Structure 1
Amino acid sequence: MVYLTLTRLFAAIAGITSLGVVCSAPLDGVQPGPGSNTTFGSLVSRATPAPPHFVIYSDKFVSGQTGPPPVSQVQGYNVFALSFLLTEGAFDKAAEWTQLSASQRSSIKSQYAAAGIKLIVSLFGSTDAPTSSGADPVATANTMAAWVKQFGLDGVDVDYEDFNAINAGDGRAEAWLASFTRQLRVQLPQGTFLLTHAPVAPWFSPNKFGGGAYLQVHSTVGSLIDWYNVQFYNQGSSEYTTCAGLLTTSSNTWPGSALFQIAASGIPLSKLVIGKPATTGDASNGFMSTSTLAGCVQQAKNQGWNGGVMVWEFPDAAAAWIQSVRSLAFPV
């Protein structure tokens, strides 16, 4: 999505569970957008929810708040993603989750579950390039899945932004993602844990990437992925900023990457969640006002789509933001 809160990095290290693999710095390319052990008997409520999915990420430091906010501040969402768990450990909101006591985490989880909101962790983000840095996909999946189970979360979101690896066009990135996803599913079974991915929209453009980017990932392991939180932002000053450009016809720069064009390439509409920044400050471009986005969401629903909406990030978006965006198509 976007960078970690670096001023909090060293404070967060004290609370992490080390993952033993060093991440590399952000790479150039298509520009990025965005315990105690838990028994398996407590996981029965984690079945994959049906669409629509309303997802909010949280990476930003909020004064006086450790971990997720009170559920009243995120009413209208049904997934809250703590960001980020990296190849070297947990940082920012993911690290804050580890700093809570087991009883505090249990209480928060119960409150979120009662409100119908899944708590997950987002992996990697724009500061982590696991393929380029040589991380082993199976070992990384095993360690990250163990972290999820140790800290009692409902699943993971794979926010893979190794742009150099995708842009290389040699298939290594796609193969890495396939192996990583398969092993996550070994450890985090489908129907018990969520497993979503958050690709940038251009990675669905046909014939633009030598390895096939996310069209290849979907072809290989799409059945293991619950849905895609597609980042329709940070890809050009006018890209995905109108309903037509977002839904029906993207620009010549990233052809075939509007919502219904992605579906035409074989991705189920029900797996496509529209991702947007909360404010102009949350992304370099791609912002839509809540009223404009609500109109686009209504248009998409009228054409048979029901995937849902994702936003980067809390607290710039909260209950009022999603309630406005949902108002015409999926009123709360």
Structure 2
Amino acid sequence: MHLSLTLTTAMAAFACIGQVASVPLEETLRSLTPKARNVLKRATPVAPYFVLYSDAYVSTEPTVSEISGFNVFALSFLLEYGAADQAQEWEELTAAQRSSILSEYDAAGISLIVSLFGSTETPTSSGYNPIDTANTMAAWVIEYGLQGVDIDYEDFAAFDAGTGAAEQWLGNFTTQLRTQLPQGQYILTHAPVAPWFSPDIWGGGGYLWVNSVVGDMIDWYNVQFYNQGTTEYTTCDGLLYSSSTLWPESALFQIADSGVPLDKLVIGKPATAAQASNGYVDPTLLASCVSSAYVSGWNGGVMVWEYPYAESSWIATVRGDTWPMPSTTATPTSTGTTTATPTPTGTGNCAGVAAWAADVVYTGGSEATYGCVYSCVF
């Protein structure tokens, strides 16, 4: 997946190859209208995605340095009745505190979203109206300035019933959320357990049906490859290429073979053995699995449950040599010949242009912002 340029008419290109125009980010942002600034902040990131959930009690959101290496931070959870846990913590901050955190995260390329439902809610079995629930939750996201949602639907009874009610509920809920949180402006992800992608098991079609009906509305899947059996998804082969007969065809590449886009599949794991019933993999082994998957053509990324048990050091290990963490060492002043910073070749602003991310491969014509605006040309 490459940077989508849907709003390029809002900005003239700055020509560069590996260089940037010397326009300070603050100056650029001040030149934009409030609406343009809002769109800029809400641009959806591209793969690979490095997602960190936060549900355990902490008094405030982590600093950028504590979660460096992640590009999505998910507050958990927003429930049908309202905010709980870290979503409630966010709600109780002052507007100024929220604005400050969002600004810091934006500058670091970290999107702040909220996760919905979780293991304590059963939306279909409990009779939640998917349209009304979507409208209420979307309104909360907008009111509190977040950049999207993650649907952590865990109504196992509804799925196991095999009537299709669970899948239909998810389809209706996702569709309505997208009417309120437009694609490209807000992130919308799902966090299904891996077995729900197994074909020919679920009477309603499982997540393969969900993907076939509303997959185009979903930015990516934070797949839970854990809590599904003591030996499930605990080796690179079982995680990536060949799942067990208990949950057939639910390894990463098997899910892709069933029609789910490979770059939408994010490998989800617990931070420690204590964070899940089973399915834990040591970060060093997980890094090896990630490397193998990448060589085989996958670029989805990694999700982990949860902060503060996973921080920057955890994701640095898992990213390894596949997606090395950018150096934080200041570049020394050169005493040799330098290349002058190019002068912008056009005029305009950066409305609608996403923030630069170190783990994104930019192709010709792609535009991004990072302390300035740049456009790569080949």
TM-score when scaled to structure 2? 0.76
CA distance in 2: counterparts of 1:205 and 1:247, whole angstroms = 14
Q: RMSD over aligned Cα, in angstroms? A: 1.1
The reply on whether 1:161 has 2:157 as its aligned counterpart is no
2:42 equivalent in structure 1: 46
Partners of 2:78 and 2:112 lie apart in 1 by 14
Whichever residue aligns with residue 327 of structure 1, its letter is G
Could you tell me which residue of structure 2 aligns to residue 258 of structure 1? 251
Query: Counterpart of 1:234?
Result: 227
Aligned match for 2:55, one of 33, 55, 59: 59
> Residue by residue, what CA displacement relative to the aligned partner does 1:291-325 show, whole Å, maximum 9, x if unpaired?
00000000000000000000000000000000000
Question: Which structure has the higher relative contact order (CA within 8 Å, separation 6+)?
Answer: 2
The share of aligned pairs that are identical, in percent, is 64
Mapped partners of 2:204, 2:36: distance in 1: 38
Q: Spell out the pairing of 1:295-310 with structure 2 (5 A cutoff).
A: 295-310=288-303
- Secondary structure in structure 1 of the residue aligned to 2:199: coil
Detail structure 1 runs of 4+ shifted over 6 Å in the superposition: none
On the 8 A contact 1:67/1:94 being kept in 2, the answer is no
Q: Tell me the equivalent position of 2:201.
A: 208
1:136-169 Cα offsets, whole Å, 9 max, x none, are 0000000000000000000000000000011110
The 5 Å alignment of 1:138-217 reads: 138-217=131-210
Aligned position for 1:286: 279
Aligned-partner Cα distance in 2 for 1:50–1:151: 23
Structure 1 Cα separation of the partners of residues 36 and 155 of structure 2: 33
Q: For 1:39 and 1:183, how far apart are their aligned partners in 2?
A: 23
Report the secondary structure of 1:44's partner residue: helix
Q: Which amino acid aligns with 1:326?
A: R
Tell me by how many angstroms 1:264 deviates: 0.2
> Which segments of 5 or more consecutive residues in structure 1 lack a partner in the other structure?
1-37
Tell me the CA shift for residue 68 of structure 1. Answer: 1.4
Distance 1:41 1:116, change over 3 A: closer
TM-score of the aligned structures, taking structure 1 as reference length: 0.87
Summarize deviations over 1:164-221 as a string: whole Å, max 9, x none: 0111100011000000000000000000000000000000000111001100100110
SS state at 2:47 partner: coil
Deviation track 1:82-119 (CA, whole Å, cap 9, x = no partner) reads 00000111001000001110010000000001110000
Query: Which residue is 1:99 aligned to?
Result: 92
Gap regions ≥5 residues in structure 2: 1-33, 326-378
For 1:71 and 1:93, the matched residues in 2 are separated by 17
Measure how far apart 1:40 and its partner are: 8.1
**1:323 alignment partner, SS class:** helix
* Alpha-carbon distance in 2 for matches of 1:291, 1:142: 42
> What is residue 124 of structure 2 aligned with on the other side?
131
1:18-43 CA distance string (max 9 Å, x none): xxxxxxxxxxxxxxxxxxxx978524
**Quick one: distance in 1 between partners of 2:281 and 2:152?**
22
Answer whether contact 1:274 1:308 (CA < 8 A) is retained.
Answer: yes
